[in-house]
Amino acid sequence: MYDLMIIGGGPAGLTAAIYASRAHLNTVIFEPEMDGGQMSLTMSLENFPGALPEDTGMDIGMRMAKQAASFGAATIRERVVSVESAGETKIVKTESGSYEGKYVLVATGSKPNRLGVPGEDKFVSRGISYCATCDGAFYQDGDVYVIGGGNSAVEEALYIANLGAKVTIVHRRDSFRAERFLAEKALAHENISVMWNTELKEVLGDAMADGLVLYNNKTDETFTVKKGDRPMGIFIYVGVKPQTEFLEGLLELNRGYVKVDENQMSAVDGIYAAGDIVDKNFRQVINACGEGCVAAMAVAKRIVQYD
């Protein structure tokens, strides 16, 4: 019987594990993949307090996991398929077994949708990014191609353009899907141009991405854009998907996101959520860590009172 079962080993889950295990709670993390979650795919966390210039997201994720383990948190490398609430007992089922505990924190994060074009997987963190706040500064003197035409794509294009980069938005339609005021700002920005009716078909390169194969669906023309003397960055924004499918039927989800109270607890007593799956405005490593901390402290307080 665990005190706290944490589903997800990203920054929210690992921070919760540090706080919970340090408070002498019997804590376990379920993480089938790499410690650090999506953070591990980031080249650098320049805006994360205390991060050094040479730190990668993977470095920080590994250190956080080691810190949690030093306080006694266990890690089970199994994928969770369902969560059940049986009164004061919570049941976490994985592909390999079933585990019981008093409280559950879900911190499975969200994953950016991928286009599935050749070269995309190969060049993630090597020229391809899904987070302008994380990686935009690396290309402030470069040529950046933003793929997409919704709110996220246009907002991030504006963010990168304001850093000084020359930004080209590549959009498969002839008008933005983004809100009008965002579209107008992008079209008026001196550092932003748009390739309408254009689709990304392939990312080229060797060690790093250095070219794009593009297709104009109006003229039926395929053409290649190659890297020049400036850094080339490719930012893909075709939506994100919170990893909460296994919670359907247990929690009421808003577009896949979990609503929580001030202690990060969901509508089901004893089940908490933190990080990118939470229904909120901003999704950064720093606030994911804060939410993991709040959830763990709330659980610790309940257990101390209960015991």
Q: Is 237 helix (H, G, I), strand (E, B) or coil?
A: coil
Same structural domain, 191 and 207: yes
Q: Is residue 146 part of a domain?
A: yes
Respond yes or no: is residue 289 known to be catalytic.
no
Judgement on whether residues 223 and 244 belong to the same structural domain of the protein? no
Show which of 236, 258, 288 is a domain's final residue.
236
233-290 tens-digit pLDDT: 999 999 888 999 999 999 989 989 999 999 999 999 999 999 999 999 888 899 999 9
Domain boundary among 210, 236, 262: 236
pLDDT of residue 187: 97
Q: Which of 73-82, 202-211, 233-242 has the lowest mean pLDDT?
A: 233-242
pTM for the model stands at 0.75
**Structure confidence at residue 306 (pLDDT):** 55
* Integer Cα distance of 212 and 234 in angstroms: 9
293 flagged as catalytic: no
Catalytic site residue from 135, 143, 289, 293: 135
Query: Residue 193's domain is classified under what CATH number?
Result: 3.50.50.60
Of 3, 55, 59, 131, which is the active-site residue?
Answer: 131
Sign of CA dihedral 285, 290, 294, 299: positive
Q: Is the pLDDT of residue 307 over 90?
A: no
The domain total for the chain is 2
Q: What is the mean pLDDT of residues 134-160?
A: 92
User: Does 118 map to a domain?
Assistant: no
Question: Which range marks the domain in which residue 49 is found?
Answer: 2-112+240-306
Query: Where does the pLDDT of residue 84 fall: very low under 50, low under 70, confident under 90, or very high at 90 and above?
Result: very high
Residue 2 has φ and ψ, to the nearest 5°, of -85, 150
Q: Which of 3, 55, 59, 134 is catalytic?
A: 134
135 in catalytic set: yes
Cα-trace Rg, the chain = 21
Report the pLDDT value the prediction gives residue 132, as an integer from 0 to 100: 85
Q: Has residue 120 been placed in a domain?
A: no
DSSP string, 150-212: SHHHHHHHHHHHHTT-EEEEE-SSSS--S-HHHHHHHHH-TTEEEETTEEEEEEEESSSEEEE
Regarding predicted confidence, which is higher, 148 or 56? 148
* Chain-centroid distance, C-alpha 146: 18
